[in-house]
């Protein structure tokens, strides 16, 4: 059975995690801001990870999704402050995070579908 993880990879991941935890403990304001920015793009990252499995050209797909997410973020008309407490915060997060994710999906789906169609319409020739 092939090995999927090496010890070096595991130790690198643990080291990066520990450094990030140390930075978050020492700089909580900056960590909260960076976490909020990453959380806005979390649905877009999930869309990229799903579509990357079906695409042959992942770097181009990543660039397309990045620019589509930036375009979608520019389409957000503004954060509404609706309600107090967690209800308003969740509504604001969904409102802001939905635009980049929807734009990324709508603009990258034709790219992935054309890649799948090209792969299936021209299968590789068998050598005799």
15 and 75 both lie in a single domain: no
Tens place of pLDDT for every residue, the chain, 128 residues? 566 768 888 899 999 999 999 999 999 999 988 888 888 889 999 999 999 999 888 999 999 999 999 888 888 776 655 566 666 777 777 878 888 899 999 999 999 998 888 888 876 677 76
Check if the beta carbon of residue 97 is closer than 8 Å to that of residue 43: yes
55 φ/ψ angles, rounded to the nearest 5 degrees: -105, 145
Check if the beta carbon of residue 61 is closer than 8 Å to that of residue 51: yes
45 and 108 both lie in a single domain: yes
Neighbour-count burial of 8, counting CB atoms closer than 10 A to its CB (0-12 exposed, 13-18 middle, 19+ buried): exposed
56 and 28 both lie in a single domain: no
Number of domains in the chain: 2
Residue position matching structure tokens 């090209």: 118
At 53, list the tokens: 């499995």
pLDDT, residue 81, reads 55
The pTM for the full model equals 0.70
């Amino acid at each position: 059975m092939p090995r999927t993880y090496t010890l070096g990879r595991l130790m690198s991941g643990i080291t990066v995690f520990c450094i990030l935890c140390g930075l978050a403990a020492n700089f909580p304001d900056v960590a909260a801001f960076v976490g909020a920015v990453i959380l806005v793009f979390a649905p877009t990252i999930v869309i990229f990870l799903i579509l990357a499995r079906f695409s042959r050209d992942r770097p181009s797909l990543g660039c397309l999704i990045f620019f589509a997410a930036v375009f979608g973020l520019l389409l957000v008309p503004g954060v509404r402050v609706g309600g107090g407490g967690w209800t308003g915060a969740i509504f604001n997060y969904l409102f802001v995070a939905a635009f980049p994710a929807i734009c990324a999906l709508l603009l990258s789906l034709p790219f992935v579908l054309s890649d799948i169609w090209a792969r299936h319409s021209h299968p590789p020739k068998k050598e005799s």
